[in-house]
Amino acid sequence: MARSVTQNRKIINTSAAWAVGLLIFFPILWTILTSFKTEAQAISDPPVFLAFDWTLENYGAVMERSNYARFLWNSIVIAGGSTILGIIIAVPAAWSMAFVPSKRTKDILLWMLSTKMLPAVGVLYPIYLLFIKLGLLDTKFGLTIVLMLINLPIIVWMLYTYFKEIPGEILEAARMDGASLKEEVLYVLTPMAIPGIASTLLLNVILAWNEAFWTLNLTAAKAAPLTAFIASYSSPEGLFYAKLSAASTMAIAPILILGWFSQKQLVSGLTFGAVK
């Protein structure tokens, strides 16, 4: 769009956008600020914005809470494990669909996506029952598998769209150059798809990290990740705003950072490519 915009217009746009942006971001900002206050300052009347005695004591207190590290570790294992497992299963599947398409490829892909739409609550009891029977209830392994399965359609989908953009002729060239199927995938496809695989990884770590239905319902004390840890603050004994804020900040900070990196892939990943 080659059109000149007056400086005034731009100033108005900028201030409006920044005002709205800060308003939307405010709850997060407020949480982060509160995490550095003392408990008394956190509920002082009137509220203090910046002029308070900055302290790290809340972080110390949360870390010391007997089991915080374990919740964090559970989150890392479950989110990371389910994503890596999902990618290992999805790469070959996406290769097949992208480079050896058949008449059924589209149907299979759509069917896979449709499993993502299954309401979790509709299958809650069967999964719960199976978990008891298989001894998976409140285990990291069980949760890793479930989160892998619920995100697998998105992983397959995202990898499929990335692979589709790699011209088939390049893989055929590798075949003509004497590469076996393994060498073709290893030396040609994978290096070319690294950016796509990385962003798929990123988005799925985020989704798995934040998942809150299965993580709340299939865990108790042992395997509970941060989602459950935070939920435990909803009981009245947890009404310590500063500590709550510190715990929340720690739970969301890594994902906020990852999320900012992945915002480009977010749209096509979450709309199944319907919006690019």
**Of 56, 63, 69, 118, which one interacts with another protein (CB under 8 A)?**
118
- φ/ψ region of 272 (left if φ > 0, alpha if ψ in -120 to 50, else beta) reads left
Q: Please, which residues have CB within 8 angstroms of residue 28's CB and are 6 or more apart in sequence?
A: 252, 256
**Of 13, 56, 65, 135, which one interacts with another protein (CB under 8 A)?**
13
**Of 56, 63, 69, 120, which one interacts with another protein (CB under 8 A)?**
120
Task: Please report how close the Cβ of residue 157 comes to another protein at its closest, in angstroms.
Answer: 9
Q: With beta carbons less than 8 A apart as the criterion, state whether 179 and 188 touch.
A: yes
> Which residue, among 20, 47, 17, 45, has the nearest Cα to 31 in the 3D structure?
47
Q: How distant is the alpha carbon of residue 149 from its chain centre? A: 14
**Of 61, 76, 77, 108, which one interacts with another protein (CB under 8 A)?**
108
Binding mask 195-234 for another protein (x = CB under 8 A): -----------x--xx-xx--xx--------xxx-xx-xx
Contact positions with another protein (CB under 8 A) in 18-37: 18, 20-22, 24-25, 27-28, 30-31, 34
Say how far apart CA 91 and CA 215 lie, in whole Å. Answer: 26
Task: Please report how close the Cβ of residue 35 comes to another protein at its closest, in angstroms.
Answer: 11
276 binds another protein (CB under 8 A): yes
Task: Please report how close the Cβ of residue 153 comes to another protein at its closest, in angstroms.
Answer: 7
Binding mask 75-94 for another protein (x = CB under 8 A): --------------xx-xx-
* CB environment 221-238: b (16+ within 10 A), e (fewer): eebbbbbbbbeeeeeeee
134 binds another protein (CB under 8 A): no
Contact positions with another protein (CB under 8 A) in 135-164: 149, 152-153, 156
1 binds another protein (CB under 8 A): yes
The count of C-alpha atoms lying within 13 angstroms of the C-alpha of 49, restricted to the half-sphere facing its C-beta, is: 1
> Which residue, among 140, 131, 16, has the nearest Cα to 77 in the 3D structure?
140
**Of 36, 59, 95, 162, which one interacts with another protein (CB under 8 A)?**
95
